[in-house]
Structure 1
């Protein structure tokens, strides 16, 4: 019998207190902002809808080649190669490497707590690019003893999360890597850091370490290594002080105006950028997530509407953790209460134009955006699926009212940069198809053998028209959570990354966990969120009615109910549980060229380090989970990119362990003892140069 590793710490999942503090402002230790009494998925038993007739009808959505390419392109980088940690013993029952779907035929890595990136036997790895490596002309090499804001503004940012690797026409053997930089760990970045008295230089370095990086990388002809091309004309840093344009129906509205921007159309910077997406027209989307933690003095806001909005979005208390409000009054809500409304959006950048102004798309709504990956309708309109990463918050989609223009000319480019400003915003209501007494919070499957049901997309707003009683369209876009509360959307267990399959069109959403499900005074279990105290999370699969991304109806099922396969409250699409790797706290998702779903984890509650897992979504191996790698001590696996011959991941916040500091690191990754712990991008490939997992 496989023995699971002991649990680490007492925070939700396997997170440290330091992670909770710096990444999300201790969100899980505050009251969940959603205190609405709207309906839940299991409260009403809908008319029987045969999910199988929709999910398994065999109809395959044919996406445009551009959309398919966008869904499968990703990111990498180059740096000094590092030796791979030896692959741990495979999980019990995982079998021979070939006993799996094509693309997943590798010897699974076992759960472990090795302070390294551990990969399968027969594979090699390389650190592509680290925090602080120079990418812009004039930027110095990284020197932890001589950090400066000016240097950081030209260097690769901190805590890389989302990653994508785009083609670069006209430059053979080169690709365009784009990465998000979610947040900063000041205690690990600065010697002698005093959280009660940060210096201006430390704060300005942190501003410059947030945002996004665009880096051209050169592909090695043999093997899979990638080398950053320093000072390339397309290389770019976007930071917390980069000018952005607010666009869409809420831009210029009263709720987005500040003393520095009385027109409500321009804002400085982007913050807490988590996952993202690539568009069929060649741009990159990035979701602003836990932005509430950067602002201080919410308790001093007196306007009732603004105060209610701040509370619903988790803005609370006096001074912020980082004390930025002491150095720039736009972060002081007592002085600029509406500055908070200018964060929490999906942003769009054009990585092929380093002089372009990035945009914040208000038509997609404001909440804690985890990601935004578009697909196209049959007539060429983009549809974007989005999760709001908070306990008991919601699942959304945006359907554009405009068709994508083909071609690379200026007119097509300018038209396509308007696609996400015009359309309809929806929120999901899910209904189970089993009687409520069969959903008891234990994770026991209902009598029909699956957690499944039907759903509807509820329209919130389109253009200047609100479909929510008592709210204007501007209020719907700026206070989207409150609008979703009013229409009775389904409260979910932290909806994170959402990706449509480029092969089938089915949509997969990672729900990471929810310690409060079923707690006193909280929402109880329902068929879409069937476990009380859900510490391991699950993955939901959705099929739009008639395979139409713009449809108002859908069917759904829980594809995976994560956790220890030896426990009865887990489910792997019906696959034999003795043949799967244990998986906990799914976060980011991506697809490989074979149609397999790859899942990175955040906060593994089974005692192992976080990792990257592949799972077949069709065929005889459907539901078989196989672990491909684990990351070092204190780290999270982010931004997976899975190509035919490469796998890339972001190793975020290595060494983020309670009590760790710059002087007393908890990890020696990536450069060994005596060196600064640095978030980085890692690339993995087969040693013989062959395709991944075949």
Structure 2
């Protein structure tokens, strides 16, 4: 059911990447000598320096243990001092002893002034457009200047589960009213929250001046080098500069100037009649983005021709971008940023270069797709003046888009698909950032710059990027700059006719995923080369094909399918999972990235049955997560729910944002 509604059964169709570009195993044709690797001495030194830098974060590193190369438990780092939650299948959010939780906001709760209270039997598009949307995903929480004890929450709404929203829903014949409600339930919500000083609880401020809904019909501006391209023009928008709506908003990020970035992910599933297109070039472009078949799952093409590829062939090109929204200016039109490329965006997390330019790291969430970064041409200006904000809003419109190519440092024969470590004790190597386009200049033979931005996957194929196991969320460490990449899974790895295992993706039939560390050369985000290593190879710790940065595997929580990543104030990495293949509910996990406890994964919470853990925010005294698609299990419906969370029996299951804090008001994990 998740596959049907979230991504249009993506994993049950052939992977869209059918390119013959080299994968990592092809690149390494023989055993690379240690001497040849040492020629990259500066990069190697950087890797060691990064480890030392992260070790200093918590003050718990043991120099003796690190030097001896004997990882093992030490004093548990601050932020991770909680009793791990055991794997379970409870229809509840399960948290450690000594903690309590509350729902901050649910699907359908009023957001804008005049919004009605949620009524399962009285839903309407007008009401939904003023209420909190469905299936919350990425979350951003910002302080609200000038308003004491208030914050601004920005939430993505990835997709809708109509069968769990509407009683008597007929998937073959949805009504116009149901479709319009679904349009209004997509997009984003901006909601002011009131913080109770005594207990830290957050509650929505209904009708606040900054509250806002962005839906599938909200006008959004194109900016950057592809704005106005013929590839973006439609009958409704002959200028190619304004698109209606944002779809399948998944991961995101926050810019240094206070705007929020939202990635459009599985947008392909909303469009019907792709197979009616007979032009070979157009069909190849559609197929590379996963468009196939006739009727779409939701049948939106019956109610608006822009979702009918045969009638509006360019409309699909207007989705799959990063959207920028200013949560402090409800009059500002959201923007789709074409300089960042078009693919199934998961995350857009920033970092500054040494000379002050902005870098964004981005994953393309598809089997065998790629890892990207963008480097702005101009520098970030500090301050909150109008001139600084105007300047900073241009930084994501002019720069260079890159894709990653990974190389391992072990003989190919040692990467056998089982997850067994090579003889050097780590899955690691080096890599290059391959430029694709910069402004109006294309670096890809046979493609214009506009084509590179609109058909970025095809450009990356031509450039020879490395096929990865579903790169999802990406997060640079706020102090060291080391970039953490969640690679969720890839059951097709090593299948007949598909790319086999390589050092960056070392398991065939990869059901559990891995987490990668990327260290830029010279620790400068503008670098065009990097060093990488796998931090975690996820799964059952009893499985010999798992790896937890060398930490004893009998002392870690089982973890499967890493998706979102975030950092706490102490520098620990937190990982939210999606699609746990260990027959337990998804959850949120904390893990030390340095010192003797490096690699010790500890489960902090699990979400209800059928749900996914999304958008984690880990503050000093509070953890927020979005509980997405609770009860989303095969056969579930309004009439036969598989979950009754969060309101109990007799109530509709409702995706929600929750907050967890200590019962004594103390610091998380301290």
Tell whether the structures are fold-level matches, with TM greater than 0.5.
yes
Rounded Cα–Cα distance in structure 2 between residues aligned with 1:636 and 1:585: 11
Other-structure match for 2:110: 134
Task: Provide the secondary structure at the position in 2 that maps to 1:370.
Answer: strand
Deviation of the 1:201 alpha carbon? 0.5
Rounded Cα–Cα distance in structure 2 between residues aligned with 1:61 and 1:147: 53
Rounded Cα–Cα distance in structure 2 between residues aligned with 1:202 and 1:533: 38
Quick check: 1:223–1:686 contact (8 Å CA) kept in 2?
A: no
Rounded Cα–Cα distance in structure 2 between residues aligned with 1:60 and 1:242: 47
Which has the higher mean CA deviation after the structures are superposed, 161-170 or 42-51?
42-51
Which has the higher mean CA deviation after the structures are superposed, 673-682 or 406-415?
406-415
Alignment partner of 1:57 out of 49, 71, 84 = 49
Verify: 1:299 aligned to 2:275, yes or no.
Answer: yes
Other-structure match for 2:3: 20
Other-structure match for 1:481: 457
Other-structure match for 2:521: 545
TM-score normalised by L of structure 1: 0.92
Deviation of the 1:58 alpha carbon? 4.7
Quick check: 2:50–2:482 contact (8 Å CA) kept in 1?
A: no
TM alignment of 1:500-519, pairs within 5 A = 500-519=476-495
* Per-residue Cα deviation, 1:536-595 (whole angstroms, up to 9, x for no partner): 000000000000001000000000000011110000111111111000000000000001
Other-structure match for 1:496: 472
Other-structure match for 1:186: 162
TM alignment of 1:425-436, pairs within 5 A = 425-436=401-412
Task: Provide the secondary structure at the position in 1 that maps to 2:182.
Answer: helix
Alignment partner of 2:316 out of 340, 345, 355 = 340
Rounded Cα–Cα distance in structure 2 between residues aligned with 1:292 and 1:556: 31
Verify: 1:653 aligned to 2:629, yes or no.
Answer: yes
Alignment partner of 2:13 out of 19, 30, 33 = 30
Rounded Cα–Cα distance in structure 2 between residues aligned with 1:111 and 1:353: 43
Verify: 1:115 aligned to 2:83, yes or no.
Answer: no
Rounded Cα–Cα distance in structure 1 between residues aligned with 2:375 and 2:75: 40
Rounded Cα–Cα distance in structure 1 between residues aligned with 2:425 and 2:51: 23
Deviation of the 1:508 alpha carbon? 0.3
Rounded Cα–Cα distance in structure 1 between residues aligned with 2:582 and 2:240: 46
Other-structure match for 1:44: 27
Quick check: 1:224–1:683 contact (8 Å CA) kept in 2?
A: no
Task: Provide the secondary structure at the position in 2 that maps to 1:690.
Answer: coil
Rounded Cα–Cα distance in structure 1 between residues aligned with 2:546 and 2:46: 24
How many pairs align? Answer: 644
Deviation of the 1:530 alpha carbon? 0.3
Task: Provide the secondary structure at the position in 1 that maps to 2:461.
Answer: helix
Rounded Cα–Cα distance in structure 2 between residues aligned with 1:175 and 1:594: 22
Quick check: 2:132–2:189 contact (8 Å CA) kept in 1?
A: yes
Deviation of the 1:493 alpha carbon? 0.2
Rounded Cα–Cα distance in structure 2 between residues aligned with 1:532 and 1:293: 27
Verify: 1:626 aligned to 2:602, yes or no.
Answer: yes
Deviation of the 1:405 alpha carbon? 1.6
TM alignment of 1:119-268, pairs within 5 A = 119-268=95-244
Rounded Cα–Cα distance in structure 2 between residues aligned with 1:571 and 1:60: 21
Rounded Cα–Cα distance in structure 2 between residues aligned with 1:561 and 1:438: 16
Rounded Cα–Cα distance in structure 1 between residues aligned with 2:52 and 2:559: 28
Structure 1 residues 107, 52: CA separation in 2 closer, same or farther (over 3 Å shift)? farther
Rounded Cα–Cα distance in structure 1 between residues aligned with 2:530 and 2:501: 21
Rounded Cα–Cα distance in structure 2 between residues aligned with 1:237 and 1:205: 13
* Per-residue Cα deviation, 1:361-399 (whole angstroms, up to 9, x for no partner): 000000000110111112221100000000000000000
Other-structure match for 1:614: 590
Other-structure match for 1:663: 639
Task: Provide the secondary structure at the position in 2 that maps to 1:22.
Answer: helix
Please identify runs of 4+ aligned residues in structure 1 that moved more than 6 A. 59-62
Other-structure match for 2:578: 602
* Per-residue Cα deviation, 1:402-432 (whole angstroms, up to 9, x for no partner): 1112221211111111110000000000000
Rounded Cα–Cα distance in structure 2 between residues aligned with 1:298 and 1:529: 32
Deviation of the 1:54 alpha carbon? 2.0
Other-structure match for 1:471: 447
Deviation of the 1:44 alpha carbon? 2.6
Task: Provide the secondary structure at the position in 1 that maps to 2:178.
Answer: helix
Deviation of the 1:663 alpha carbon? 1.2
Quick check: 2:25–2:500 contact (8 Å CA) kept in 1?
A: no
Quick check: 2:191–2:205 contact (8 Å CA) kept in 1?
A: yes
Other-structure match for 2:59: none
Deviation of the 1:59 alpha carbon? 8.2
Deviation of the 1:60 alpha carbon? 8.0
Deviation of the 1:167 alpha carbon? 1.1
Deviation of the 1:307 alpha carbon? 1.8
Rounded Cα–Cα distance in structure 1 between residues aligned with 2:281 and 2:139: 37
Quick check: 1:61–1:505 contact (8 Å CA) kept in 2?
A: no
* Per-residue Cα deviation, 1:583-634 (whole angstroms, up to 9, x for no partner): 0000000000001000000000001100000011111211110000000010
Structure 1 residues 61, 622: CA separation in 2 closer, same or farther (over 3 Å shift)? closer
Other-structure match for 2:61: none
Rounded Cα–Cα distance in structure 2 between residues aligned with 1:344 and 1:392: 17
Quick check: 2:253–2:349 contact (8 Å CA) kept in 1?
A: yes
Task: Provide the secondary structure at the position in 2 that maps to 1:402.
Answer: strand
Which has the higher mean CA deviation after the structures are superposed, 305-314 or 479-488?
305-314
Alignment partner of 1:444 out of 420, 423, 430 = 420
Deviation of the 1:52 alpha carbon? 5.0
Quick check: 1:61–1:547 contact (8 Å CA) kept in 2?
A: no
Alignment partner of 1:279 out of 255, 270, 275 = 255
Rounded Cα–Cα distance in structure 2 between residues aligned with 1:61 and 1:500: 14
Measured on the aligned residues, the alpha-carbon RMSD in Å equals: 1.4
Task: Provide the secondary structure at the position in 2 that maps to 1:661.
Answer: coil
Task: Provide the secondary structure at the position in 2 that maps to 1:255.
Answer: helix
Deviation of the 1:308 alpha carbon? 1.3
Task: Provide the secondary structure at the position in 2 that maps to 1:419.
Answer: coil
Task: Provide the secondary structure at the position in 1 that maps to 2:651.
Answer: coil
TM alignment of 1:277-426, pairs within 5 A = 277-426=253-402
Rounded Cα–Cα distance in structure 2 between residues aligned with 1:61 and 1:595: 11
Rounded Cα–Cα distance in structure 1 between residues aligned with 2:298 and 2:250: 19
* Per-residue Cα deviation, 1:659-686 (whole angstroms, up to 9, x for no partner): 0101111001000001010000000001
Rounded Cα–Cα distance in structure 1 between residues aligned with 2:339 and 2:280: 25
Task: Provide the secondary structure at the position in 2 that maps to 1:456.
Answer: strand
Quick check: 1:224–1:684 contact (8 Å CA) kept in 2?
A: no
Quick check: 2:50–2:519 contact (8 Å CA) kept in 1?
A: no
Verify: 1:459 aligned to 2:435, yes or no.
Answer: yes
Task: Provide the secondary structure at the position in 2 that maps to 1:333.
Answer: coil
Structure 1 unmatched ranges of 5 or more: 1-17, 63-94
Rounded Cα–Cα distance in structure 2 between residues aligned with 1:518 and 1:336: 37
Deviation of the 1:61 alpha carbon? 8.3
Rounded Cα–Cα distance in structure 2 between residues aligned with 1:55 and 1:411: 39
Other-structure match for 2:60: none
Quick check: 1:60–1:503 contact (8 Å CA) kept in 2?
A: no
Other-structure match for 2:648: 672
Rounded Cα–Cα distance in structure 2 between residues aligned with 1:205 and 1:184: 10
